[in-house]
Structure 1
Amino acid sequence: MTYALEVEGLDKSFGAAPILRHVGFAAEAGSTTAILGPSGCGKTTLLRLIAGFERPDSGTIALAGRMVAGGGWTPPHRRSVGYVAQDGALFPHATVGANVGFGLPRRARTRSKIAELLDMVSLDPSYASRRPDQLSGGQQQRVALARALAREPELMLLDEPFSALDAGLRADTRRIVADILAKAGITTILVTHDQPEALSFADRVGVMSAGRLAQIGTPREIYSTPVDVSTAQFIGDAVVLAAHVDGQRARCALGDVPVSLSGVQGNARIMLRPEQIEVTPDGAGVSGTVVDVEYLGSEMMLGIRLDTENGVVSDRVTVRRFGATALTPGDRVGIRVLGEGVAYEL
């Protein structure tokens, strides 16, 4: 298997504060990997180490089998790596054409080459004469991408490049950038704190927590079978309940729920996603009372307080329901579970 990037045992501290602790992963050539985590977890530091802007305290980084950190040192300009920062980092005093051409050797900064690079990022060549402040946020990010592509990198690093854009523009720009990089066959590493962005953009997702890589896998694996409760709750809305697991069944406030095979037995916690919990129209199943309704446009989130078998008020669960609902706080409902839960040790 050909890896464009191999990171192994990476540690980094600033002063007495550890930022990264024994981080390791590999990215196949042409793949897209998202590193997902909250602010301060170390994901941008990881990107800067790969780019060569910082040196690791220990561990190694290899690009296409060539050691660039840990077994020697290769400076950033010799790593064949493109880097797009959160704000694009365009030169405000320069035209778009000059910004794009900055990544090219002087003799290659021709009008036709600039036009070719702008076309790659779906911008008309006429934009070359504009200045960055005459562009929208999404256009500025595409200019920054064109500048990074000018060096014909083997690896592209994206440092939260869509976070400053509004929701609609962010989705459009993300889709355009993903298509451009996929067509060019460039291995890409995206760091983000946006869960839907990571899951929709990447072939593989790594979840970082407190400087460690907690889990890496396909978007489906990360969402459906997170490695622990904290990862589950960070990746998306999660319903976590106390349970007793016997074999592949868990007894909890939602009744008898099937769980995926994990080796967890006895007293435990189980995790379900809100879309796995369905309100039954006839009131059948476990009963409860609607306590709040959150309107989100195409979907609604229902907070439901479950009843125990003896009628005592019990756990509160969140149910995702698509489309409108006539339910209001105080309504009595029945609910049932779809699919399997994931069990975790206490």
Structure 2
Amino acid sequence: MTYALDVDGVDKSFGGATILRGVAFAVESGSTTAIVGPSGCGKTTLLRLIAGFEKPDAGTIALAGRVVAGGGWVPAHRRSVGYVAQDGALFPHATVGANVGFGLPRRARTPARIAELLEMVSLDPSYAARRPDQLSGGQQQRVALARALAREPELMLLDEPFSALDAGLRAHTRRIVADVLAKAAITTILVTHDQPEALSFADRVAVMSAGRLAQIGTPREIYSTPIDVPTAQFIGDAVVLSAHVDGSRARCALGDVAVAANGVHGNARIMVRPEQIEVSTEGAGVSGTVVDVEYLGSEMLLGIRLDTADGDVPERVTVRRFGATTLTPGDRVGIRVLGRGVAYQA
């Protein structure tokens, strides 16, 4: 099978510091992949290698079956790759029309073609006469996308393009960009440190940690069955407790919890998501005491200290509860786990 992008065993170091080690993954044509990980894990370096701005120390990168790095070298301007940077990188002295037209051959820089590209990113053609400093942050990013689309790339690379926008504008701009790229059937890679953004934007999510690819899969797989505890804790909030696993059940401070069968037995650690923990004032199941309540608007986070037997050190868990709650610190509650947790060998 020929992939739109095939990265195989890529290493990269700068000044003796290893940034990427043995990174390998493939991206299907027309799909959207989000590369997510903490700052310094190598996300942007990987994107720059794919774009052709840097050369790998080892390994190969192929676009649509053609090797462009490692065993051959194809410069960035001949890779049919579009690139949108975090700040948009628009030319401040040029009009919007000139910025968009920069990606076009001279003969194709017509008002009609520029208007078409602006309309693709939900901007009125009249914006062509404006300058970047007359646009909002979200509009600037859409102009940057239009400029990248002008080259009709086979692969679009987005390097944290929404991170400088406020929350509402960020979500709105992200939806527009995702819709544009989906309609154009352009294979897309998004680099972000924002976990919800990665899960909502992409068909597949690749999680990086310390220069390595820890896990790649669908958003549901990554969130529901992370490969290890660090990945679980990075992709969303996680409640991680010591446990003893026997078959499909795990005994822990949250009681007897069902776990997915993954070969883990005996002493282990178990992970459940905060929304899996149900709180009741009935006192059924495992009991505990509310120690703090964090108000987040549409949801609330409850810190609960669990009751333990035999003088054990009490476990504290965080529970996500949607909507308002009358619970306050000091209230006694009963809790139980819904669904299955994920066990990891201790």
Q: What TM bracket, shorter-length normalisation?
A: over 0.9
What letter corresponds to residue 205 of structure 2 in structure 1?
V
Listed as ranges, the matches of 1:1-346 within 5 Å are 1-310=1-310, 314-346=314-346
Shift in Å, 1:308: 1.0
What is the CA RMSD across the aligned residues, in angstroms?
Answer: 0.8
Gap regions ≥5 residues in structure 1: none
Is the contact between residue 281 and residue 332 of structure 2 (CA under 8 Å) also seen in structure 1? no
What letter corresponds to residue 66 of structure 2 in structure 1?
R
Number of aligned residues: 346
Shift in Å, 1:309: 3.1
- The separation in 2 between residues aligned to 1:161 and 1:214, in whole angstroms, is 23
Shift in Å, 1:22: 0.4
Residues 142-164 of structure 1: CA deviation (Å, up to 9, x unaligned):
00000000000000000000000
User: For 2:288, what is the secondary structure of its paired residue?
Assistant: strand
What letter corresponds to residue 316 of structure 1 in structure 2?
R
- The separation in 2 between residues aligned to 1:339 and 1:37, in whole angstroms, is 27
Shift in Å, 1:319: 0.4
User: For 1:162, what is the secondary structure of its paired residue?
Assistant: coil
- The separation in 2 between residues aligned to 1:77 and 1:255, in whole angstroms, is 58
- The separation in 2 between residues aligned to 1:71 and 1:185, in whole angstroms, is 29
User: For 1:127, what is the secondary structure of its paired residue?
Assistant: helix
- The separation in 2 between residues aligned to 1:109 and 1:280, in whole angstroms, is 64
- The separation in 2 between residues aligned to 1:112 and 1:49, in whole angstroms, is 34
- The separation in 2 between residues aligned to 1:273 and 1:231, in whole angstroms, is 13
- The separation in 2 between residues aligned to 1:336 and 1:120, in whole angstroms, is 49
- The separation in 1 between residues aligned to 2:51 and 2:199, in whole angstroms, is 23
| 1:240–1:160 distance in 2 versus 1, CA, 3 Å | same
Shift in Å, 1:115: 0.3
- The separation in 2 between residues aligned to 1:252 and 1:236, in whole angstroms, is 21
Shift in Å, 1:280: 1.8
User: For 2:315, what is the secondary structure of its paired residue?
Assistant: strand
User: For 1:344, what is the secondary structure of its paired residue?
Assistant: strand
What letter corresponds to residue 182 of structure 1 in structure 2?
A
Residues 86-108 of structure 1: CA deviation (Å, up to 9, x unaligned):
00000000000000000001111
Shift in Å, 1:15: 1.2
Residues 38-96 of structure 1: CA deviation (Å, up to 9, x unaligned):
11100000000000000000000000001101120000010000000000000000000
- The separation in 1 between residues aligned to 2:193 and 2:297, in whole angstroms, is 23
What letter corresponds to residue 160 of structure 1 in structure 2?
E
Shift in Å, 1:3: 1.1
- The separation in 1 between residues aligned to 2:312 and 2:61, in whole angstroms, is 57
Q: Give the TM-score normalised by the residue count of structure 1.
A: 0.99
Shift in Å, 1:2: 3.9
User: For 1:3, what is the secondary structure of its paired residue?
Assistant: coil
- The separation in 2 between residues aligned to 1:131 and 1:114, in whole angstroms, is 15
Residues 203-231 of structure 1: CA deviation (Å, up to 9, x unaligned):
00000000000000000000000000000
- The separation in 1 between residues aligned to 2:345 and 2:336, in whole angstroms, is 24
- The separation in 1 between residues aligned to 2:204 and 2:312, in whole angstroms, is 44
Residues 221-255 of structure 1: CA deviation (Å, up to 9, x unaligned):
00000000000000010000000011111110111
- The separation in 1 between residues aligned to 2:313 and 2:144, in whole angstroms, is 55
